Amino acid sequence: PPAVAPPPPQQQQQRQAGALHTATGALPSSIRGEDGFVPEYISGEHGLYSLPAVGTRGRRARPGDNRFVLRSTPGCLFLTNYRMMFHAYGEAKAADGGGRSAVGSGGDDGNGVRTLSRLPKGDWEIPLSMIFRVQTLGGDARSGSGSNTLLFGQSTNGHGRQLQVDTKNGQVKRFGVAGELAEALSVFLNALSAAAFWPGVDAADSASGAAAASMENEASAAFAFTHFTALKQANLHRSEHEQKFNRFSIVAEYERLGLTRDPNLRMISQADIPICSTYPGHLMIPSGMTNNEICRVAKYRSKERIPAVIFRHEKTGATLSRCAQPLVGLQNNRCVEDEKLVALLRRASRQTNRIYIADARAQIATQGNRLMGKGTELKRHYESMELIFLNIGNIHAVRESWQGVMGLMDPLSLEGGRGDTTWLGKLDAHGWLDHVHRILKGANRLVEILHVEGCSVMVHCSDGWDRTPQLCGLAQLLVDPYYRTAEGFRALVEKEFLEFGHMFAKRHLHASPKYGDEDNSPIFVLWLDCVWQVVRQFPDAFDFNEMFLLALADQCYSTRFGTFLCNSSRERAAHFLRERTASVWWYLDALGDAVLNPNGYAAFDDILVPDVSPKNLRLWEAYLQVGLTLIL
């Protein structure tokens, strides 16, 4: 259809017909707002629908006042195959007047990425895969009941509807739609649901033989594939980019760390010894372990996630290993091969009189796991072993904490006399910063063991793919200055989260419309928050800046890149994501100086010991500012 600008608001009898426009068979410019606004698209993106709406945002009653009022702003909602946007009419469009965009989700520049900037005042956008829940409410948004009030005092004919969008990064957005546009709203919602909650690919599909059909569904629906195809066609993503950013080698990282040169260790290939489907293809284990012994250890560890060496301290020779909990159970089961492996790890270190096992959980939590046939190591079976508990919350505790924060993002929670102090007090009660504190404290303890005591340490939680990479990744960041460079940080994320099986698809609800799914939890964002706390305390020790971390926090949800799709490296390889999608690391590299330390990088070999006392921890304002621009 030709480009059509909707008629003025007063022509209500014509507005229904012009409320929705489809770009099928037409240029994206056929989707425009009443003021002529046309969204800027990234490679592979195209417009689907537009819908007149009224947006809301909070603001201070007056400068310096702790009271907040809610402001209604007329505008237009836009839906594309990648994101949902709201463009506000009649606002002062100062470049720094609005909230932070989901980084890089706007139009391309000459390199296929967008320069980082703030959105115009009153505007908002979110990638579709970051939408957590969409619902419609009738009547007054303050009460959620059906009434004749459209949204925050906007009068209607009694049939107005409210569209509420909850996002995975904590935003709660409400939009009012006039009653005469009910049919248009219904079409918009159906299109939004179809675009945001696509089928996806998971391990069950692969195991059941339905992988081909499922992969075809994902290829036709996940934006990462469309985006990559468009980048290639425009010659914005070339083969040298794929070689540099889509070809991480964990073997090369083992070599850099000196693990392959250590006579006490040997590398095994899962092509020769299939052990664990959620582990990388190559593993470092004690050289004194036979293949048969390793297979028996796998049967004794949850999900077959055996102890594998991931790091060696250059000065002390102490090693850091990771695994899953043992299958001890109420019968106090033991495995002599597992005990032998731990003893060999202890003897491989220069300090041979002790080895630590750091259980990320609280001790009482391990007792509950014993009822399910699991648990933690029994000290009497492991020679010279010291068992410590780090008391870090599980995915359910983190999810509940984050959902509490999400509730506080609702502008209604700040309306009237509620002020900064009250709101931040409620935020503290939800315990998000307590999770940050416990992870940082645990990482400091691991550094003390490796660097000061010179002892080896083995880390696990329950299955070893959530709290374990948080602790191991942070400890290595504090010890090894290489991981504080942009290149090294990429290697750290690839190794600890991607290669060793952090379940990004499940934790971020990629392709799932389920609300309250027991598998979802912002584990990776919580870890990035911990990293940001360290960067804030030691800014000159890092090659990258806060925007680098913000970009990762956004893009791990966006599905614009293939890096964070699926739940393991094996799944990503099975669906050829390296060949069919662009890498988030290419994107960050293209952003250049915008994500690098503006003061320069002072490379030094000292370990970092952040102050983890609660008074020295801060709310990650720049990340939460996406949803709460009014008080931060």
pLDDT confidence band for 622 (50 / 70 / 90) = confident
pLDDT at 409 over 70: no
pLDDT at 479 over 80: yes
Tokens 């942009």 belong to 486
249 shares a domain with 190: no
pLDDT at 4: 29
Is 505 domain-assigned? yes
pLDDT at 183: 86
Is 234 domain-assigned? no
Is 540 domain-assigned? yes
Range name among 208-217, 545-554, 590-599, 605-614 with the lowest pLDDT average = 208-217
160 shares a domain with 291: no
For residues 100 and 551, the answer to whether their CB atoms sit within 8 Å is no
455 shares a domain with 325: yes
pLDDT at 598 over 50: yes
pLDDT confidence band for 410 (50 / 70 / 90) = low
pLDDT at 223 over 80: yes
450 shares a domain with 335: yes
pLDDT at 70 over 80: no
How far apart CA 183 and CA 570 sit, in angstroms, is: 45
Q: Is 465 annotated as a binding residue?
A: yes
Is 117 domain-assigned? yes
Q: Is 462 annotated as a binding residue?
A: yes
257 shares a domain with 110: no
Q: Is 294 annotated as a binding residue?
A: no
Q: In the annotation, is 461 catalytic? A: yes
Mean pLDDT confidence for 111-119:
54
pLDDT at 143 over 70: no
Mean pLDDT confidence for 239-262:
88
Q: Which of 134, 166, 196 is the last residue of a domain?
A: 196
The CATH number covering residue 68 comes to 2.30.29.30
pLDDT at 624: 74
pLDDT confidence band for 173 (50 / 70 / 90) = confident
C-alpha closest to that of 500 among 215, 276, 217, 333: 276
Is 217 domain-assigned? no
Total structural domains within the chain: 2
Domain assignment of residue 566, given as a range: 242-624
pLDDT at 369: 93
Selected residue with higher pLDDT from 492 and 412: 492
Q: Is 466 annotated as a binding residue?
A: yes
168 shares a domain with 249: no
Q: Is 461 annotated as a binding residue?
A: yes
Work out the angle at residue 280's Cα, subtended by the Cα atoms of residues 372 and 205, and round it to the nearest 5 degrees.
70
Q: Is 395 annotated as a binding residue?
A: yes
Is 472 domain-assigned? yes
Is 233 domain-assigned? no
Is 236 domain-assigned? no
State the catalytic residue, choosing from 335, 455, 461, 530. 461
pLDDT at 477: 98
Q: Which of 166, 196, 226 is the last residue of a domain?
A: 196
395 shares a domain with 457: yes
Q: How far is CA 455 from CA 306, 382, 443, in A?
A: 20, 15, 15
Strand order of the β-sheet with 456-460 is 308-312, 319-322, 456-460, 355-359, 385-389
pLDDT at 48 over 50: yes
pLDDT tens across 489-545, in order?
A: 999 999 999 999 999 999 988 866 554 578 889 999 999 999 999 999 999 999 999
pLDDT at 516: 54
Q: Is 370 annotated as a binding residue?
A: no
189 shares a domain with 59: yes
Mean pLDDT confidence for 91-97:
43
Selected residue with higher pLDDT from 416 and 447: 447
pLDDT above 70 as % of the chain: 75
The CATH number covering residue 258 comes to 3.90.190.10
499 shares a domain with 396: yes
pLDDT tens across 34-46, in order?
A: 778 888 899 999 9
Range name among 3-17, 25-39, 54-68, 508-522 with the lowest pLDDT average = 3-17
Q: Is 463 annotated as a binding residue?
A: yes
Residue 36 φ/ψ region, left for φ over 0, alpha for ψ in the -120 to 50 degree band, beta for the rest: left
- Neighbouring CB atoms inside 10 A of 92's CB total 8
282 shares a domain with 148: no
248 shares a domain with 187: no
180 shares a domain with 290: no
